[in-house]
Amino acid sequence: MKTINEDFTCIECWKEIKKAEKTCRNHCPFCFTSMHVDWDIPWDRSTQCHWKMYPTAYEMKNWDYRILFTCTKCWKTHRNKRATDDEITNLPSLIEKYRIHFN
């Protein structure tokens, strides 16, 4: 399967996001918003949903952050590794801010 790694405009904060080095980026490193484009396999781009996904939790695993994202339409969840340029210190407050979408 071919992976897709490309620049994109964030659908939440509208910043221009550059593609990641050594991995495929699918969330904004500033506001952590993502678009629901993958279904079963990371980078498969096979869903038709295309709604916003927000971070809803995170954990440390193997000395790295794993971020849980949840779709605001279909409630599908998936985990992503933190990208090296993610502004991770903003994550806890952003999870709290986005909680309104899941109550």
From CA 54, how far away is CA 4, in angstroms rounded? 21
pLDDT digits (tens, 9 = 90+) for 57-99: 999 988 889 999 999 999 999 888 888 889 999 999 999 999 9
pLDDT digits (tens, 9 = 90+) for 5-19: 789 999 999 999 998
Q: For the chain, which residues make up each domain, given as ranges? A: 8-102
1 pLDDT exceeds 70?
no
Handedness of CA 14, 11, 88, 4 (dihedral sign): negative
Which band of pLDDT confidence, cut at 50, 70 and 90, is reported for residue 50? confident
